Every structure is written in structure tokens, then in C-alpha cells.
């Protein structure tokens, strides 16, 4: 292992992002140029507490009993949502944590679109705004097409609804009704559902308003819960 890995850690963060994306392409997680580009442009190292470990394909604790998902989960969710993250579209990131995925959404929907992150831990929202300010998405935050809010994500964010894309970064026992209501006809939500055993569910709202749901893969996420429940024991 030694020498090549040591060389890797001395590289700049842009190189490390590119290496990570190449690995995810080889694994078959990243399938499209669009997703590869956004994961290269938004540097994960700016969003995690410990810069270097950012480029390892595993989840990391970010404090307050929360985590940032592993890069392969971000890649999977971006691939599942990419057709619903076209320029001008509206996207909602529930449990936005570090702000990383919200920033990716913002880059994809662009200045004419809207990317909204909601997170119920105020300290995480404050640090996520600082993270975004250091990233390639800073101008979108300043321009107002990207916003991060302290709110109970189970209620969504009605002000910018309906959403073409909704991503939920914590597992719900069942899909919250407000999120279904805020999903646009023709839109897609990706949400982990279950308690101990969880499935990443892909929820499509058809143009007639009917809902179809399929399971993409088995996952393990922190629970989508109240702020009080999440902070117990922290």
C-alpha cells in the first residue's frame, strides 16, 4: 500500500476529488458525466470536519449524532435524481447536514433553479452555510438560488414547493405526507424507509398525481426524528 497512498495524500483537494470520482465510476456508482462533474466541482473536503478523510468512501460523523453519507451514497442519489435536477428546477434536501449534497443540487439546477436544504440542528445549518461559502456553490448562496434553513425536515419547506427532486438524508418509518404533498407531478423523491432494516426508496409522482415506489438498495441511515430525540445522549 505505502508509497502510492502517501503520494495520494500529498495531492491537492481537486486531485483527490477527481480520484474519488474515478473510483466511483469504476464501481459503477457514477454513470453519467453530469454527476461526475458536480462531484468533482463540489469538494467534499470543504464539508467534513477532518479534511483528509473526506475522500474515503465511507460515512463520517459530523457531530450532534449526525453523519455525512459515504460518497457512493451521494453518487447513487445524484444519479437517481439527475433528470429532476435540470437547470431551472426546484430541489429539496431534507436533513442537509454539512450542506454538501444541497450544494451539488444547486450546481445542477443553476441560478434560475432553487436548491433548499432543511436541517433541524441550528449549529449544523450555521456551519453548512460557512462550508458552502468556501465552495464552488458560494455564488449561488449569495444569489439566493441556494438556501439552508433551520426546520423540521419532516414538514418539508412549503415556500419553494412543489419540488422536482426531494432527497431525504435520514430514515423514516414511513414517508412523511408533507413531503409527498410537496413533490411535483412528474417529480421524484429518494428516501430511506424503515427502522433497523432500511431500503432506499425511489418515489415517483406521475403526472396524474398517482405515486409509484420502488426499492433501490438496502441502506443504513440515522433516523429522521425530532431534534430532541436526535440530541439525546449526545
Q: What is the pLDDT of residue 201?
A: 94
Q: Which of 13, 53, 69, 139 is catalytic?
A: 69
What's the CA gap between 111 and 145, in Å, rounded?
Answer: 5
What secondary structure does DSSP assign to 47-69, as a single string?
A: TSSSTGGGGSSS-EEEETTEEEP
Q: What is the pLDDT of residue 17?
A: 85
What secondary structure does DSSP assign to 4-37, as a single string?
A: HHHHHHTS-HHHHHHHHHHHHHHTTS--SHHHHH
pTM of the model: 0.90
Of 69, 89, 66, 65, which Cα lies nearest the Cα of 77?
69
Task: Determine phi and psi for 177, rounding to 5 degrees.
Answer: -60, -40
| Residues with pLDDT less than 70, the chain | 1-12, 14, 51-52, 223, 233-234
Told to judge if 69 belongs to the known catalytic residues of this protein, a careful annotator would answer yes
Q: What is the pLDDT of residue 227?
A: 76
Residue 147 CB neighbour total at 10 angstroms:
19
Per-residue pLDDT tens digits for 161-211: 999 999 999 889 999 999 999 999 999 999 999 987 899 999 999 999 999
Amino acid at each position: 500500500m505505502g508509497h502510492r497512498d502517501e503520494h495520494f495524500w500529498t495531492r491537492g483537494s481537486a486531485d483527490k476529488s477527481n480520484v474519488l470520482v474515478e473510483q466511483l465510476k469504476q464501481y459503477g456508482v457514477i454513470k453519467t458525466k453530469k454527476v461526475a462533474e458536480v462531484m468533482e466541482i463540489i469538494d467534499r473536503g470543504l464539508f467534513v470536519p477532518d479534511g483528509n478523510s473526506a475522500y474515503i468512501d465511507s460515512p463520517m460523523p459530523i457531530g450532534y449524532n449526525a453523519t455525512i453519507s459515504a460518497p457512493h451514497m451521494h453518487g447513487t442519489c445524484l444519479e437517481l435524481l439527475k433528470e429532476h435536477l435540470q437547470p431551472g428546477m426546484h430541489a429539496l434536501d431534507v436533513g442537509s447536514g454539512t450542506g454538501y449534497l444541497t450544494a451539488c443540487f444547486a450546481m445542477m439546477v443553476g441560478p434560475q433553479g432553487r436548491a433548499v436544504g432543511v436541517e433541524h440542528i441550528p449549529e449544523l445549518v450555521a456551519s453548512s452555510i460557512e462550508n458552502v461559502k468556501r465552495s464552488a456553490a458560494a455564488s449561488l448562496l449569495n444569489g439566493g438560488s441556494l438556501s439552508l434553513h433551520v426546520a423540521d425536515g419532516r414538514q418539508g419547506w412549503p415556500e419553494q414547493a412543489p419540488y422536482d427532486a426531494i432527497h431525504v438524508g435520514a430514515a423514516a418509518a414511513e414517508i412523511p405526507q408533507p413531503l409527498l404533498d410537496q413533490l411535483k407531478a412528474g417529480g421524484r423523491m429518494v428516501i430511506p424507509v424503515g427502522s433497523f432494516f432500511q431500503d432506499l426508496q425511489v418515489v415517483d409522482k406521475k403526472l396524474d398525481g398517482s405515486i409509484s415506489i420502488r426499492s433501490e438498495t438496502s441502506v443504513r441511515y440515522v433516523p429522521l426524528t425530532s431534534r430532541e430525540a436526535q440530541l439525546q445522549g449526545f
